């Protein structure tokens, strides 16, 4: 089965297609792209710097300690701390909320960079893990950092060890230790050694049943942004920080 592509032009049309996507009680994760042509790949792969990961970690650690109240206990916590502060990693952010993902697809900052249709990607995390050869008990479970030994192969020190094998990306969850990740209902996919794009991955039969792409025509972007504003899905919702409290306050008089 080739990639399933749908189209929406309003929040109402999104609500019309969601029940069909959730059919059978499936878990779905979402990611918004301002440009529908962008691939599903983490920043370290986009920048073609996968072999520089250990260097980035060492440099980040070198200067981070003086600013930390709680020092990360292991490699996983260091990776998530780096991701939180926008250091390129093998992690790709997803959300359990379609509205949060839609915000990233049509937000003013994102759209200013491109002049094309946007996209709302829908991922079936269990299906991705099945394609990647990870089977948990019960079958609908999703692996969590620090809890599944199967994820140890994705630790930076193991990924960059002298081993010839490479694995497919996995869908994983982690403790939401930062306010932003909690507000965004954040979940993740993680890359292994090779830059394998999730939107190009197929199962043994050549199917892409782990993904659905929802296209947003360029002419519908502004309308969707306004509708999200009516629903109070805004910068403060997505980034709960004091600076955005100030921006929200100013909106009341401008």
Domain ranges for the chain, please list them.
Answer: 4-251
Place of tokens 């529908």: 36
Looking at residue 125, its pLDDT comes to: 96
Instruction: Please list the helix, strand and coil fractions of the chain in percent, rounded to the nearest 5, in that order.
Output: 45, 15, 45
Residue 254 has pLDDT above 80, yes or no: no
Q: pLDDT class for 150, splitting at 50, 70, 90?
A: confident
Q: What is the pLDDT of residues 122-147, one digit of tens each?
A: 999 999 999 999 988 887 899 998 78
Whether a cis peptide bond, with omega within 30° of 0, leads into 178 is no
Q: Is the pLDDT of residue 49 over 80?
A: yes
In angstroms, the Cα distances linking 203 to 78, 94, 129 are 32, 21, 11
3-state secondary structure of 171: strand
List of residues 6+ apart from 54 with CB closer than 8 A: 156, 157, 160
pLDDT (tens digit per residue) in 6-30: 999 999 999 999 999 998 778 999 9
Which of 120, 94, 142, 127 shows the shortest CA–CA distance to 18? 120
Mean pLDDT of the region 149-164:
84
Those residues whose C-beta lies under 8 Å from the C-beta of residue 59, and which sit 6 or more positions away, are none
Distance CA 61, CA 82 (A): 9
What span, in angstroms and rounded, lies between the C-alpha atoms of 205 and 202? Answer: 8
DSSP assigned state of 173: B
Q: Are the CB atoms for 170 and 129 separated by under 8 Å?
A: yes
The distance of Cα 57 from the centroid of its chain, to the nearest Å, equals: 20
Q: What is the mean pLDDT of residues 38-52?
A: 93
What pLDDT score was predicted for residue 249? 73
Q: Is 246 exposed, middle or buried (0-12, 13-18, 19+ CB in 10 A)?
A: exposed
Q: Which residues fall within 8 angstroms of residue 39, CB to CB, at 6 or more apart?
A: 46, 197, 199, 200
Largest CA distance in the chain: 60
- The single-letter DSSP state of residue 177 is -
Tens of pLDDT, residue by residue over 206-243, are 889 999 999 999 999 999 999 999 999 988 899 887 77
The three-class DSSP label of residue 172 is strand
Per-residue pLDDT tens for 170-200?
A: 999 998 888 888 999 999 999 999 999 999 9
pLDDT tens digits for range 95-110? 999 999 999 999 876 6
The pLDDT of 32-55, averaged and rounded, is: 93
Between these two residues, 113 and 172, which has the higher pLDDT value?
A: 172
């Amino acid at each position: 089965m080739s990639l399933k592509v749908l189209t929406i032009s309003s929040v109402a049309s999104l609500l019309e297609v969601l029940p069909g996507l959730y059919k059978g009680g499936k878990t779905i994760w979402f990611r918004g792209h301002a440009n529908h042509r962008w691939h599903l790949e983490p920043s370290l792969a986009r920048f073609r710097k996968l072999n520089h990961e250990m260097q980035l970690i060492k440099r980040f650690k070198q200067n981070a300690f003086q600013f930390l109240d709680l020092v990360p206990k292991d490699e996983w916590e260091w990776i998530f701390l780096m991701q939180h502060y926008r250091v390129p990693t093998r992690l790709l952010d997803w959300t359990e909320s379609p509205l949060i993902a839609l915000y990233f697809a049509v937000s003013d900052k994102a759209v200013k960079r491109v002049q094309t249709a946007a996209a709302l990607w829908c991922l079936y995390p269990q299906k991705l893990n099945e394609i990647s050869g990870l089977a948990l008990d019960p079958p609908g479970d999703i692996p969590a950092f620090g809890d599944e030994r199967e994820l140890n192969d994705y630790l930076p020190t193991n990924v960059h060890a002298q081993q010839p094998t490479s694995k497919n990306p996995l869908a994983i969850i982690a403790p939401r230790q930062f306010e932003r990740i909690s507000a965004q209902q954040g979940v993740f996919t993680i890359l292994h050694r090779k830059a394998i794009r999730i939107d190009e991955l197929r199962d043994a039969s050549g199917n892409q049943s782990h993904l659905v792409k929802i296209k947003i025509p360029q002419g519908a972007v502004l309308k969707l942004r306004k509708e999200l504003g009516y629903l109070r899905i805004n910068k403060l919702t997505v980034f709960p920080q004091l600076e955005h409290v100030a921006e929200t306050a100013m909106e009341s008089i401008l």
